[in-house]
Amino acid sequence: MAGVFIVVEGIDGAGKGFVMMKLQEHITERSKKYDHVLLTREPTHEKHGAKLRELLKKHDDPYSSNHEFLDLFTSDRRDHLRHHIEPCLAKGYVVLCDRFKYSTIAFQQAQGIPLAEVIKSQEGFKAADLTILLDLPANTALERVANRAEGTEKFEKLDFQEKVRQNYLMLSRMFPNEKIAVIDASTDKENVWTQVKTALEESKVLPY
């Protein structure tokens, strides 16, 4: 059985962690054929990802160091695919990834890098079988972020997150041949999960 690659995207505070957990539970319960589900995320904790995590902790201008971020995210993603995602897909795993190339397109474009340049940097990276985009107003998302124990990061500014949100909402037009499901993430968790589950079933990416 071929592996299935599902990506969960959204601005900070959209609820990606909750959706990842529910997807894992649902897919595992759905069939014994899905014994192997990998949960992973970007940035990773490998060399380039660790550098990114340090940079994200800095509370400076979210528009600064844009090309450094682009280069690090791209390098981290290349290693992530080579060493984790692609080997698991080859073994028939369902791979659930919190953020992928779509984050780079949304965030680094918001940082001021021309869209064409960002898209070119992501050429060669595989498309997800299904991308679940959790959408909600930036102010609502940042209210959720403010309640997190770990505090805020570099990109978690209202004007910046709203730009990221609008960039995310253009993904379906940028990639018309890819399956991208936009979910209203401003509602309660159970409603969000109902929408996600419906999108998963309608996508038919899981053969069982």
Q: Identify whether the C-beta of residue 152 lies closer than 8 Å to the C-beta of residue 11.
A: no
Q: Which residues pair with 40 in a beta bridge?
A: 97
**Domains, the chain, ordered by start:** 4-202 (3.40.50.300)
Report how far apart, in Å, the C-alpha atoms of 172 and of each of 1, 25, 118, 179 are.
28, 27, 16, 8
User: Average pLDDT for residues 174-187, to the nearest whole number?
Assistant: 97
Q: What is the pLDDT of residue 59?
A: 66
Distance CA 192, CA 197 (A): 9
Given CA atoms 98, 185, 58, 109 in this order, what sign does their dihedral have?
positive
Residue predicted with more confidence, 179 or 34: 179
Lowest mean pLDDT among 29-33, 87-91, 108-112: 29-33
At 134, give phi and psi (nearest 5°): -85, 115
Reported as half-sphere exposure (CB side, CA atoms, 13 A), residue 186 has a value of 8
Residue type, 51: K
Report CA-CA distances (Å) from 204 to 192, 201, 207: 19, 6, 7
65 CB contacts (<8 Å, ≥6 apart)? 55
Angle at 148 between CA 108 and CA 95, to 5 degrees: 60
- In this prediction, residue 35 carries a pLDDT of 74
* pLDDT tens readout for residues 159-169: 999 999 999 99
pLDDT of 152 strictly over 70: no
State the Rg of the chain over Cα.
Answer: 16
55 versus 198: the higher-pLDDT residue is 198
Q: What are phi and psi of 184, to 5 degrees?
A: -75, 100
- Residue 199, pLDDT > 80, answer yes
CA–CA dist 189, 89 (Å, integer) = 29
Position 207 scores a pLDDT of 78
pLDDT-based confidence at 147, cuts 50/70/90?
confident
The predicted model scores a pTM of 0.94
Round the average pLDDT of the chain to a whole number and report it. Answer: 93
Confidence bin at 148 (pLDDT 50/70/90): confident
